[in-house]
Amino acid sequence: MPQSLLIRNGRVIDPSQEIDETASLLLVDGRIEAIGRDVGGGSGEVIDAGGQIVSPGLIDMHVHLREPGQEHKETIETGTAAAAAGGFTAVACMPNTDPPLHDDTQVEYVLRQAARVGHCRVYPIGALTRDRAGRQLAEIGLMVRAGAVAFSDDGDGIADAGVCLQAMRYVGMFGKLLIQHCEDRTLTGGCMNAGPTATRLGLPGMPGIAEEVMTTRDITLVRATGTRYHAAHVSTAGMVDAVRRARAEGLPVSTEVCPHHLLLTDEACSTYDPNTKMSPPLRSAADVEACLEGVRDGTIEALITDHAPHTHSEKEVGFQNAPFGIIGLETSLALFAKALIDPGLQTWPQLIEKMSTRPAQLLQVPGGTLKVGQPADVTIFDPEREWTIDVERSRSLSRNSPFDGWQVRCPVTATIVGGKVRYRG
């Protein structure tokens, strides 16, 4: 018996086919079988999606799943459960694990573990350098063969321009995406954005130019190599501008932004709450405005979480000593809606494109589309219903979010991966 699922009557939005209409979607044996107004049939479950948005499964191209080695913060099982609850049918996981994902055995481990206990698809991102130390290239070729979809030393940028050039050439040979954590450590070293708030709080600052210096250096290297380059978690006006100019020049440069860099400024650090500490840090109001404009004008192509779980005891050690990072998988759709849909900066098709279709294209992975024959990865959410963020209900092992108690909209009602309902709201 074929396994079928019919999703009736929803507002079906698929940016890959420019579809935005009330329609039905039939999923059979893990694939999209049919899409259209008059689609029916199938002998399996029927979901009535009246009043809801039905989109290609959301894809988060920047998360930290912490396995192997830091299973007290998150595991592939708990991280992907949080992802599915947030509407994600796939996540790409960063290599700053312990050991790092720097050769084929670790990449294979993640893929095996994800197949065994994962609640959504997992695409490993391999490290660019051995031990993420920025000196010697990692086993990039072997990792490509094992299934790594992109390469990054995220958490750290590659300081040495020569190593970065070599990494670009190598990653470029495989046609993969190089994702850079843009931060020149010779210019930074603090714990929050450098500016009047840091001075008032007596905390050492992280100036925005530390990001911009590495980004502009890298753009010069992209001009020399032609490698596809993705600047991770943009947070400053200068960095948005650098990417905008590179794109205008026709260079294969892209970037992404997190919800917190669109909704919070460094003022949020005034309470010394360690859950307002992340890297890059919360910036000035002018930087937030520039990031919002970057999304609006299409300079920023992907919306990500940078889901970075840390335990309570790790975070509760004073602002200066706390690790960088916040969780985000279960709240990002709602927070992006607040930042971008509510003020009219994006339409739903534009937002879905940046949370699904573009990430799939940048990573060159399946998904991001509801085209017939493609994997049946689908997200259903209610654009109107309100809910309150409660970190205690998170499926993540960690609770480090600055958004606890926020009033938001857009709860996820179902996350369907390969035709199977992996989460029901």
Apex 321 CA angle, 315 and 322, nearest 5: 25
**306 noted as active-site residue:** yes
Q: Tell me if 315 contacts ligand DOR by CB under 6 A.
A: no
Alpha-carbon distance 339 to 139, whole Å?
A: 39
Site mask for ligand DOR (CB under 6 A), range 364-403, x = bound: ----------------------------------------
Q: Is 392 exposed, middle or buried (0-12, 13-18, 19+ CB in 10 A)?
A: exposed
Determine the interface stretch with ligand DOR among 244-252, 266-274, 319-327, 346-354 (rule: CB under 6 A).
319-327
Strands of 215-370, DSSP E: 229-231, 253-257, 302-303
Which two three-digit tokens encode residue 84? 């599915």
Nearer to ligand DOR, 258 or 355 (CB): 258
Nearest approach, Cβ of residue 302 and ligand DOR (Å): 15
Q: How many CB atoms lie within 10 A of CB 21?
A: 12
Determine the interface stretch with ligand DOR among 4-12, 121-129, 322-330, 414-422 (rule: CB under 6 A).
322-330
Nearest approach, Cβ of residue 67 and ligand DOR (Å): 13
Catalytic one of 98, 306, 377, 390: 306
Cβ atoms of residues 311 and 398 within 8 Å? yes
Residue of closest CB approach to ligand DOR: 325
Nearer to ligand DOR, 9 or 398 (CB): 398
Determine the interface stretch with ligand DOR among 38-46, 75-83, 193-201, 321-329 (rule: CB under 6 A).
321-329
Nearest approach, Cβ of residue 268 and ligand DOR (Å): 14
CA-nearest of 357, 424, 410 to 84 is 424
Q: Tell me if 324 contacts ligand DOR by CB under 6 A.
A: yes
Residues 6 or more apart whose Cβ sits within 8 Å of residue 343: 292
Q: Tell me if 230 contacts ligand DOR by CB under 6 A.
A: no
Nearer to ligand DOR, 97 or 284 (CB): 97
- Between the CA of residue 346 and those of 30, 138, 296, 340, 351, what are the distances in Å? 31, 39, 6, 5, 6
Nearer to ligand DOR, 300 or 322 (CB): 322
Q: Tell me if 275 contacts ligand DOR by CB under 6 A.
A: no
- Between the CA of residue 105 and those of 68, 102, 126, 233, what are the distances in Å? 11, 8, 11, 28
Q: Is 404 exposed, middle or buried (0-12, 13-18, 19+ CB in 10 A)?
A: middle
Q: Tell me if 332 contacts ligand DOR by CB under 6 A.
A: no
Alpha-carbon distance 280 to 213, whole Å?
A: 14
Q: Tell me if 308 contacts ligand DOR by CB under 6 A.
A: yes
Pick out residues in 129-168 that bind ligand DOR (CB under 6 A). Answer: 154-155
Cβ atoms of residues 301 and 362 within 8 Å? yes
Q: Tell me if 97 contacts ligand DOR by CB under 6 A.
A: no
Q: Is 317 exposed, middle or buried (0-12, 13-18, 19+ CB in 10 A)?
A: exposed
Nearer to ligand DOR, 10 or 325 (CB): 325
Number of residues that bind ligand DOR (CB under 6 A): 12
Q: Tell me if 181 contacts ligand DOR by CB under 6 A.
A: yes
Nearest approach, Cβ of residue 248 and ligand DOR (Å): 27
Identified binder of ligand DOR from the candidate list 16, 64, 166, 376, rule CB under 6 A: 64
Nearer to ligand DOR, 328 or 368 (CB): 328
Nearest approach, Cβ of residue 62 and ligand DOR (Å): 9
Alpha-carbon distance 322 to 304, whole Å?
A: 23
Q: Tell me if 279 contacts ligand DOR by CB under 6 A.
A: yes
Cβ atoms of residues 206 and 213 within 8 Å? no
C-alpha torsion sign, points 124, 129, 130, 133: negative
Nearest approach, Cβ of residue 297 and ligand DOR (Å): 25
Cβ atoms of residues 166 and 106 within 8 Å? no
- Residues lying near ligand DOR in the complex (CB under 6 A) are found at 64, 96, 154-155, 181, 278-279, 306, 308, 323-325
Catalytic residues, by residue number, are 306
